[in-house]
Structure 1
Amino acid sequence: MKSPALALAAITVASVAPTTAVSAAPDARFLRALDRLDPKTRLEQICDLEAMRRMSQSKSAGARVDRAKSDVIVPPQHLGNTLVAKGGAFRAGGKWYQMSFTCKATPDHKTVLDFSYKTGAAIPPAKWASYGLWK
């Protein structure tokens, strides 16, 4: 079971996902929630938020992205201040899709410095529960 701080950060990520430009900074509530997380989880959260922002702006997602998770199919790799997620997923238009990304953050894991991603195929609803995804 995830810690209360992690759950708070996940809720905050979902609730503060900006619809403005990618350069918009996370709000103060999100940054306070990040302070309560261990560095690895903080990196995952800030990178998941960046994935949501980037894909929401891209036409490749097809709809506004309201969730992104780096750890769905394959756990992400933590390489210092860089997160490599080869088995992540994002939700857009009520459907989940595969994604992968590389995200480099500042040493405090509160600001993304570099981000690149690829989107993949839709994940069949029959697999959602086994991946910990929801409707």
Structure 2
Amino acid sequence: MSDPRSKQAREVLGRTEPFERATQICNLEVMAQINGRERSQRADFVNAEATAPVQIRDSDIEAAGAAYRSRDKWFRLRFTCKLNRAGDEVVDIRFTPGAPIPRRDWEKYSLMIDDHPMHD
């Protein structure tokens, strides 16, 4: 998020409700981390609440039921994210990418294709 190319994203996030802002900051960071660590993956979207609600305690976010999209497939994801006191910067993030989510389950979890919800 500190990259100058992220200026527009930071401005938009600055106008969102605190819960949503915190979740989106963590989503963006975990997506960047996946792309930096998992060479075969190109994550382009993270849904922190795909299969379970996000838990927030103070500046800690736990997303046990997250998912990420890579190369038109969805994968399970679990992450914990700690923000600074202001809630605008990630100070620690830990994540575990998981198994692919079967396409038949995408609609059930409101996962998207091409940034639109999937409908058969």
Over the matched positions of the two proteins, sequence identity in percent amounts to 30
In the alignment, does 2:36 pair up with 1:48? no
Question: Greater helix percent: which structure?
Answer: 1
User: What SS does the aligned partner of 1:52 have?
Assistant: helix
2:60, 2:106 → 1: CA distance? Answer: 27
- Asked whether the 8 Å contact 1:76–1:85 carries over to 2, the reply is yes
Q: List per-residue Cα deviations over 1:73-129 (Å, max 9, x = no partner).
A: 001100111100000000111100000000001122221000000011100011101
- Residues 122, 39 of structure 1: CA spacing in aligned structure 2 closer, same or farther, 3 A cutoff? same
- Asked whether the 8 Å contact 1:39–1:108 carries over to 2, the reply is no
- Asked whether the 8 Å contact 1:62–1:92 carries over to 2, the reply is no
Of stretches 89-98 and 24-33 in structure 1, the one that deviates more from structure 2 is 24-33
- Asked whether the 8 Å contact 1:67–1:92 carries over to 2, the reply is yes
- Aligned-residue CA RMSD in angstroms? 1.7
- One-letter identity of the residue aligned with 2:32: R
2:97, 2:54 → 1: CA distance? Answer: 16
Structure 2, gaps ≥5 residues long:
114-120
2:5, 2:84 → 1: CA distance? Answer: 14
Q: Partner residue of 2:11?
A: 32
- 1:1-135, aligned counterparts within 5 Å? 24=3, 27-59=6-38, 62-135=40-113
1:56, 1:88 → 2: CA distance? Answer: 16
Give the C-alpha shift of residue 24 in structure 1. 3.8
Where has structure 1 moved over 3 Å in runs of 4 or more?
A: 23-26
